[in-house]
Amino acid sequence: MHATQPLSHKVVSQDEWLAARKAHLEEEKELTRARDELSRRRRELPWVKVEKNYVFDTPTGKRSLAELFEGRSQLVVYHFMFAPEWTQGCKSCSLLADHYNPATVHLEHRDVSMVTVSKAPLEKITPFKQRMGWTFNWVSSHDSDFNRDFQVTFTPEELENGTRTYNFGNKPYPIVELPGISVFYKDADGNIFHTYSSYARGLDILLGVYNILDMVPKGRDEDEAPGMAWVRHHDRYDGKPFQDPWVERPPRPTQPVRPAQPARPASPAKEHA
């Protein structure tokens, strides 16, 4: 359990509380109507046709982007941060996955398939998925340009010189993988269109835990742990060992044991290196 500083807050009578709550309710209704209007305008955004033939590694073999629709006309892709060199997926993406994992069955009954895509190979994705107890469809884009084209995977050179594009702009965030969500539509002729993508705080809408925290007196309470620093994989709370995958050091491959060699004097260059 993580406890933060206690609160001191204004306390009023029941009648005063009710009056303040009704006034705030009007603001909440205004926000709901504004959100509905924003969603309507989102659906009116223009589309772009997907011309590239993306192929993914899946537990049942190679599959194209078209096959990921699984007979439905709409596809939601969550770009899960999991670089090929990491030993586990991102903790914050895992928090989102905890939310959408049980929702996929409901989406399928609204003509929507949802798939998770990572750059890591399947041999790393599969054991992590089993560890977390998830059942959603998770595939690897390891051998394709998918992550690069949808601006969630970056090279060390791009991070160094600041030329990478994320969330439709250049912002310094020094990690080779970042999260996002992309939406696609497939018509009756099999044409695929990219309709929407969102990144960074645009993913907040998927985080029910934050929506609940926004209702409690302390809110998100992240002053002492900004940027989701408090988040852990759901099996790594309560003092269990944890480290972000982009800072951990994977174990080095075992080197064959070589026979001992006679000692040689060190070269002058090595002595003064």
Would residue 129 count as lying in a domain? yes
**What b/e string do you get for 125-161 counting C-beta neighbours within 10 Å, with b at 16 or more?**
beebbeebebebbbbbbbebebbeebbbbbeeeeeee
State how many domains the chain has.
1
Sign of the CA dihedral running 169, 173, 175, 178: negative
Tokens of 191: 């044409």
Return all residues near 262 (Cβ < 8 A) that are at least 6 apart.
Answer: none
256 in a structural domain: no
Torsion angle, CA of 219/225/226/232, rounded to 10 degrees? -90
Q: Residue 186: which region, alpha, beta or left (left: phi > 0; alpha: psi -120 to 50)?
A: beta
101 found inside a domain? yes
Phi-psi region of 67 (alpha: psi -120 to 50; beta: other; left: phi over 0): alpha
Report the alpha-carbon distance of residue 270 to residue 273 in Å, rounded: 5
Does some domain include residue 156?
yes
Looking at the chain, the whole-number percentage of residues with pLDDT higher than 70 is 89
Q: Quick check: is 43 in a domain?
A: no
**Residue 185 has what pLDDT?**
98
DSSP H or E run through 139: strand 137-140
**Domain CATH number, residue 98:** 3.40.30.10
C-alpha to C-alpha distance for 262 and 265, rounded to whole angstroms: 10
The answer to whether residue 272 is domain-embedded is no
Q: Which two tokens stand for residue 102?
A: 């049980």
How sure is the predictor about 5, in pLDDT bands with cuts at 50, 70 and 90?
confident
What is the per-residue pLDDT for 269? 32
187 falls within a domain? yes
Average of pLDDT values for 226-255? 78
Q: What is the pLDDT of residue 224?
A: 82
| pLDDT per position as a tens digit, 168-223 | 987 767 889 999 999 999 999 999 999 999 999 999 999 999 999 999 999 999 88
User: Is 259 among the domain residues?
Assistant: no
Cβ atoms within 10 Å of 56's Cβ, excluding its own? 21
Q: Find tokens 């509905």 and name the residue.
A: 36
Q: Smallest Cα–Cα separation from 115: which of 155, 107, 123?
A: 107
pLDDT at 257: 37
Which tens digit of pLDDT belongs to each residue from 35-79? 999 999 999 999 999 999 999 999 999 999 999 999 999 999 999
Domain that holds residue 68: 48-213
Instruction: Give residue 151's pLDDT band: very low, low, confident or very high (50, 70, 90).
Output: very high
